[in-house]
Each structure stands twice: as C-alpha cells, then as structure tokens.
C-alpha cells in the first residue's frame, strides 16, 4: 500500500520569500510518480509538478521545484518568490507507474498563507 | 468543453434520499476518476473508468455507491440511501490517455454534498 504524509497542517510565508512544503511517502513499488496539487478555495485541484521515481534530476516548473530525496522517501515542494495568489491548500500525491492501478494517493495537505 | 465540469455544484440531501452527481470530462479523455474529499482531508479514490469500462471500484465505501459511464464520456456517481457520513466534496478527474501520463489529471471543481 502507498502512503503520503504531510506533517505541516499550516504554513505562513512572507510575500516574495521562498517556502518549502514537506512530503514523505511510503511504498514498496519500485516505480512510482510523485505529484503536487494546489487547491484554492474554489475547490478545483490544480496540477503543479511531477517527479518520476527514476528521474535523475529534480523537477522544476517555473517558480515550483521538487526536492526529491529518494533514499529518504521525501518529495518536498519549494515555491520561490511567493505571491499572494499562492495562498491555498497544497497536496502531495503518488501513483504507481506499473501495473493496473491508476489512482492517486493523496496526503492530508498543507494550508499555505502568503502574508503581504 | 475546456475543463472538467461537475454538477450540481452543491447538493443538500435528506438522510435516506438518493442522489446523482454528474461529471462531464474533457472531450476525448479516456480515463475518468471519482474521488471523495472529507472536510480538511485529502481526496480519497473511489473508482476509475477507462472509456466505458469500470476498471477499478475498490474505493467505493459501500454498495450504496454506484458509478457508471455508459458511453465513455459523461459519468454519474449515484449514492443510494444517503447517510450523514456521505457528506463530502466529490471530485471528478479525467486524463487524455490511460492514466499514466506525467502531467497529472484535470480535476473538476467538485460537488459538495451535505446530508442532513
């Protein structure tokens, strides 16, 4: 079974500063993918970034980067130059990349508040 | 359409009432997922379709929950004899291919179900 742990229920960051959201995972599968989603108050889950378990380099997408440490089973999200619009709930998720299972397993989320 | 559309946006049901939640995925998307998100929690997988075939329904919490996608496009999640513990946001997501893409799934804004 797969499990995602997000230990920070809430985080605050000053506008224009960087923030790291923690995510650890547990799986016995050798091949998997890790995702981060943003959920604003409107409710829609917005895909941010993906990291494959065999990817050699950490993923980056604009202001988002994923600090992937495979041996520690961690996949922290780094948001640089925070903006007020970044205030939202952030979810870490994982999925097998082999076999028939296609669903994402989500963590409990971190509520990020960006302060002006 | 441009995104995944879910209706109704909000639903209040009396305990024991049957409800039907609709999901219109992005046109041409092969994979469709239903998730249940309790207040303050991450989404939990309910069921997965590839075209009209329901390939995984392991997350459905009881036989009161039923999902269908008869023509491989629109999907309906039906909950019979609703109970208070069914109160949650029900999210639908779709993916262009078989669900193994590294760009994540496109989620709808969800249906918030409140059972009173």
Distance CA A47, CA B106 (A): 7
Give the C-alpha separation, B42 to B58, whole Å.
17
A93 touches chain B (CB under 8 A): yes
> Taking CB atoms and an 8 Å limit, are A102 and B93 in contact across chains?
no
Is residue B28 pLDDT above 60, yes or no?
yes
Report the pLDDT value the prediction gives residue B101, as an integer from 0 to 100.
66
Q: Quick check: B107 and A46 CB within 8 A?
A: yes
CB within 8 Å of B87: residues ≥ 6 apart: B113, B114, B115
pLDDT tens-place string over residues A26-85? 998 888 999 999 999 988 899 999 999 999 899 999 999 999 999 999 999 999 999 999
Report the pLDDT value the prediction gives residue A12, as an integer from 0 to 100. 97
Provide the shortest C-alpha distance from residue A85 to chain B (in Å): 18
Answer whether A111's CB lies under 8 Å from A19's CB.
no
CA closest to A104 among chain B residues: B45
**What CA–CA distance (Å, rounded) separates A59 from A74?**
13
Confidence at B100, pLDDT banded by 50, 70, 90: low
Name the 3-class secondary structure at A9: coil
């Amino acid at each position: 079974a797969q499990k995602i742990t997000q230990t920070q229920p809430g985080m605050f960051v000053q506008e224009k500063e960087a923030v790291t959201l923690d995510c650890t995972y547990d799986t016995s599968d050798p091949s998997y993918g890790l995702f981060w989603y943003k959920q604003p108050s409107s409710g829609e889950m917005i895909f941010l970034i993906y990291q494959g378990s065999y990817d050699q380099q950490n993923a980056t997408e604009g202001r988002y980067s994923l600090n992937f440490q495979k041996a520690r089973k961690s996949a922290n999200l780094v948001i640089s130059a925070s903006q007020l619009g970044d205030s939202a709930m952030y979810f870490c998720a994982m999925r097998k990349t082999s076999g028939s299972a296609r669903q994402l397993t989500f963590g409990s989320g971190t509520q990020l508040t960006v302060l002006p | 359409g441009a995104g995944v559309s879910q209706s109704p946006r909000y639903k209040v049901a009396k305990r024991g009432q049957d409800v039907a939640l609709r999901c219109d995925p992005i046109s041409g998307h092969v994979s469709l997922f239903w998730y249940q998100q309790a207040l303050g929690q991450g989404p939990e997988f309910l069921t997965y379709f590839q075209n009209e075939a329901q390939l995984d329904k392991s997350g459905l919490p009881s036989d009161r929950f039923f999902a269908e996608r008869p023509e491989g496009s629109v999907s309906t999640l039906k909950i019979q004899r609703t109970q208070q513990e069914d109160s949650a946001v029900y999210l639908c997501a779709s993916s262009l291919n078989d669900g193994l893409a590294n760009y994540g799934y496109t989620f709808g804004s969800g249906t918030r179900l409140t059972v009173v």
